[in-house]
Amino acid sequence: MLDAFIAAFLATFLSEVADKTQLVLAGLAVRYRSPLQIFLGALLAHSFMDVLAIVAGSFFGFEFPKKEVSLVVGTLFIVLGIWKWVGAYKKKSDKEEKTKAGSPFIVAFLLIAVSEFGDKTQIAAALLAAQYLAPLTILAGVVLALILAIGLNVFLLGKLAQKLPRKTMQMLTAALFILFGILSFM
């Protein structure tokens, strides 16, 4: 069982530590200035999606339709990138800032839940569950790796990114969203 835990931990951590989703989370942590809510929303969404994958891998062993998932995720990233790009130039009222400040958990949860569907980490979790037939052990390894990877990116990278001007961060995040969206089509 220890080998299943280690395999799940290493596969997840190495897949996630430099993944595009983690860069997006760092951008959200800077934008919303609420890293704990971003962390919790992302961790819950990742864990939920990985539970689905582990259950599927344990019982069904099916493969996600990669082409359709890439199309949906790529389009979503491009739309969000354009929205963020336009938003960087839009003057915000106090009411808009208060509305955004109250929803970082939900934003992180929804963004991760959609973007992680069929992701390599989710597929790896399903395959490991099918291989080891130890779903709780796989889940423990996956969740521990996610805590470490998301924590490093949201708290550490998010803190470093706060040193940049806000508009520069918004433009950089928008450009990354668009780039990741385009790369998803390839």
Terminal Cα distance for the chain, rounded: 37
- In this predicted structure, what is the pLDDT of residue 70? 65
Residues in the chain: 186
In the chain, the number of structural domains is 1
pLDDT digits (tens), the chain, 186 positions: 888 899 899 888 887 876 777 777 877 887 787 889 999 999 999 999 999 989 987 776 555 565 765 676 667 668 767 876 787 677 655 444 444 545 889 989 988 888 887 777 888 888 888 778 889 999 999 999 999 999 988 888 767 766 777 677 667 767 766 776 777 677
Cβ of 151: how many Cβ atoms within 10 Å? 14
Residue type for position 118: G
- In this predicted structure, what is the pLDDT of residue 99? 41
Check the CA dihedral 36-79-167-97 and report its sign.
negative
**What would the two tokens of residue 3 be?**
């080998």
Residue 88, Cβ density class (10 Å: 0-12 exposed, 13-18 middle, ≥19 buried): middle
**What would the two tokens of residue 141 be?**
């390894």
- Which of 129, 87, 135, 90 minimizes the C-alpha distance to 107? 87
Range of the domain at 178: 2-184
Q: Are 83 and 170 in contact (CB under 8 A)?
A: no
